[in-house]
Structure 1
């Protein structure tokens, strides 16, 4: 299986294929990453060039980086979601906050993100809007440049057995969950839009939209196939809906908001 080396963006959250990720970039190592990406430095099969001026300026090229979730307990600073606050770190450099062996601080399965827009602010930070594309397994992490890069291999999405029937069941359970979460007011995260019917798309949408902790979302991301993910989601949705049924005062509006991830 072929591999690629891409910039690595660790977060206290899980990105799924097809989902949109807004980012507010203010830390220098990630500013450097976005400067390179905005200049077309991502070739897709090698690390960004040392000389950014040598990079292509073709804005139609994919501007790819890998989003990976930080393992529980490995974040140095209390900020969440996002990166450790660099002002609290005693060390400096691309691996600051992640220990002497950064790969151990991250989950091994992440998601490639394609930055559709990269806007630089007057203060030097960036506002980025990216979309998850494909799952990847992280093979190694390199901290020799201005920011972390990772060697990754793509994880194919296999359908598994009975994915279509499972997707229908998950959608029914998801609608029930949404209705309970919104206080039975017919309000949902997908109000005004048709839910998809393609099993893998259903599995990723539900994984992203359900209120779960990072380990649970990570397990869904790295499920071996779509059917396995859907089966796990069906159990989770039924369990979560039962819990919500006994918590009528749950602040559903707050839980269903999707804030910009700072870094």
Structure 2
């Protein structure tokens, strides 16, 4: 298992707003929907380990790699999920991954980010992280800014030392079997739910209910679905399930259902706040 150090935030005012993704199951461990972009639509410095709206490429297009290609890729297991188009700041200090970075900086600057936790182990689907900025410190630590590129599936492990290397194939969304499916319309529905969640979340947080701007920003349905998944911070297993889907429509439908459930929860919470404003403020 790899360990990374979170890059500290320069200001505590940038703490993300988090909301339960599973309000109907109070006994379940809480999961969260990252709404950091509610208040900070402008581009923030790469100061925290998260994938938020401000870190997502506005015009992301996956590379046209053949999905049948097999190649060897160094892997970096992390307790998070990287999506295509998202930005990931990292600080590398573990010795084996410092070795990996020295190698990458002399080759193609790409490695595989793959989700790992103590319960489910290491996933077999991940996302390529391409180093777009780096800084090597005097103690041989690295600060990296990486951008999510293609998804991949692990076929076999080549070696485990000094770091994990695997043979992988690219993973791409397949055309939907439904010929009358309106992907653009589905993406618009998802965006509408996101705006409603943002509006109610701001209201519950005591923030002005300003008009929410364009969240989609001319993204096609597939990269937009990755953007939406990248905002579900705090729920890495749900993010991993979204990353593994090979159907854009299925991904958008799942995200729509998640946002719908979150909106229902917020609506109920808002109603309680209206009836008991003093108790809501004291809590």
- One fold, TM greater than 0.5? yes
Unaligned runs of 5+ in 1: 41-61, 75-104, 250-263
Partner of 1:36: 103
C-alpha RMSD over aligned residues: 2.5
Cα gap change, 1:181 to 1:140, in 2 (>3 Å):
farther
Provide the secondary structure at the position in 2 that maps to 1:243: helix
Unaligned runs of 5+ in 2: 1-67, 273-283
Moved over 4 A (4+): 190-194
Aligned counterpart in structure 2 of residue 67 of structure 1, from 110, 113, 116: 113
Residues 1:107 and 2:123 aligned together? yes
Provide the secondary structure at the position in 1 that maps to 2:123: coil
Partner of 2:186: 166
**By how many angstroms is 1:247 displaced?**
4.2
Residues 1:182 and 2:205 aligned together? no
Cα gap change, 1:211 to 1:7, in 2 (>3 Å):
closer
Partner of 1:50: none
1:1-263 mapped onto 2 (5 Å cutoff) = 1-40=68-107, 62-73=108-119, 105-160=121-176, 161=178, 162=181, 163-183=183-203, 185-186=208-209, 195-247=217-269
With the length of structure 2 as denominator, give the TM-score of the two structures: 0.64
Partner of 2:54: none
With the length of structure 1 as denominator, give the TM-score of the two structures: 0.68
- CA deviation vs aligned residue, 1:46-82 (integer Å, no higher than 9, x gap): xxxxxxxxxxxxxxxx4110000014526xxxxxxxx
- CA deviation vs aligned residue, 1:176-207 (integer Å, no higher than 9, x gap): 1222233363469x968763341011101111
Count of residue pairs brought into register by the alignment: 198
In the alignment, is the contact (CA less than 8 A) between 1:29 and 1:146 conserved in 2?
yes
**By how many angstroms is 1:150 displaced?**
1.4
- Name the structure, 1 or 2, with higher relative contact order (CA <8 Å, separation 6+): 1
- CA deviation vs aligned residue, 1:96-152 (integer Å, no higher than 9, x gap): xxxxxxxxx311110011111121112211000111111111112233432111111
The answer to which of 156-165 and 200-209 deviates more is: 156-165
